[in-house]
Chain A
């Protein structure tokens, strides 16, 4: 019996984030006991800022680790005998993306938490724990780690959704997420059990090798696994919790959920489909086709009748899941690269849109209704402009990353012969334009209402908005190598490299 050989680089990002969670918890305890520190009074906001900085620091480390892994182009596994976690380029890409998104959400949350008076240090700890779960999810090559990653991601988010304990809507959000989530977990688990039972393996390579294609039990297991993923990426018809949960949760949490969960789940789904079910995945396209079509259709159509911004963005995120699925339907390396690129853009444009709402939350009140934004262009022109930019990106207007993302996805679909799906995609995009445009209508073309919105953004919010705007534009204008310094920013190339090793 030999001691297992461990390669810590594979778990470095997760490790950093997990340690970060512990440090945050400790720091919170230490800080909240003191009245003054270095001669300055210790306030809640200050504590929050410090904790956010700590969290951001660890996330930055995780980002560095994953970026390093990406450039090193090694396929590090935690232990050779039983590789349950792999930090290859795909995992590094998703991990980095999740880290960036979490980092931005941390920065974004400081003022907001104080503003809605839920400024507790546990927030950052939970956020980091969930992030570590996502990272695990992204790299897992075994059903066990997949499951644990999923749960490690979900459980803190259940809590975060209900973080504003005094608000009934927040409670309800958490409860619904929890109920539907654990139900979905059970289904997923049953699927895993059946897969294990029919193949005798829980690792992806083993499943791939032993998958009995004609066995109905195996297929059932596969289907149940797929349902679990479909729930996480909120694909129709497993999406209904999304608007309720997004609406009820505090906006910063909604932001976090909307961007990171989807990225991690799609990353894992991508790996699962290509690695564990590679040869079989082709038979899946019909099913994915239907899911993608339904998701685009229902998400976009339902968003049309929403008056609540969070709810609208929730349906919009459902719709975007549909577009990402189009890339999966294509099933080609190109399609998978398009999926990753879409996720990259999606993170920044959605984060930007939510950040704008975060920056408007005022004295315990979220900025929720479209009407609340009336006349915003005059009171906060820069914010209105940025929000418009993000919405246009979400709508897929050229010049923004949203366009390139959709373009790549549809290109992959057309290339694989799924023209009908591409046409459905563009038609539903037209519908999406309608509801995205309602928001600029309120901001630019309506007289100010009586909604009391915050008049000043904090520097953290500004930073997040600026980063998102720059990235969205950059990805829109130079998705490949740009001139000068931008020559090294080759997002499309990265996406392609990330999926290259899967086949």
Chain B
């Protein structure tokens, strides 16, 4: 490796399109061969149910925005349900999840009931965080949902801490950090993945690559094609890319990465290729996306595709309808309960700054 070699150890960057322009990126076709994957049917029904829960929760939240009942901002995962659902099914109940502001789906996927989630969005006293956290900070420690983090990158480092703790306590738990494509360009990504690799922590880094930061295509500001997976070699850890709209595909990788981490094999990166149906946040119509790209991805919707797969492998339409309607009923009931809950008490402002429950910083 020494000597004045003029070899280029890595490829020169390929030309990228100019500012504000980008080539559309289309989904790979759904992989029907996974119909025969080694996944029990009950697991698949669970994957379907969780995808339905996320979809219907997000749609409901969207409706509530339109009714102007949600204050502040909000970031939906419509179209991106498969990976949250897959990990929700693949994780043990005491494993740890860390999500971003786009974390409603990751929260419900860990078994958190919809009512406190919706109530939090509406800023009610019965909200998951008593109204203090809001849309971007959903957390349910009792469900292993260790928080939603709204500043890009930080939670990758924090997930390492939970993974380290599991190792110190020899508990066999793993930690999963979900993040976006845009997050791969921030320093904390580098520090976190490197750190996990150095200590062989049971951290699984799941990049949900929906092709865009807020309004800028990731390809415009990233010199490699797979912003997370193509960087794993910089840390000597395994990585894979996957159709992020195929719950089975993600589930298989999740199972494997979790097993790898749990058995002491260390961290890995999974990059899911996916797309959001709507804009970045409530205010964004998403017009920066080429029409045909959007169209292609709308047709590559994880939920109808999975529905079709289940029919192909012999699940009855009736059983699926039952799942859909039972989820709908739960979301309806949760919405009503949340809507009728009172706003937080004024006293709530002053609680839980400190472990003693209070806020006093002087005597």
Query: Do the two shown chains form a genuine complex with each other?
Result: no
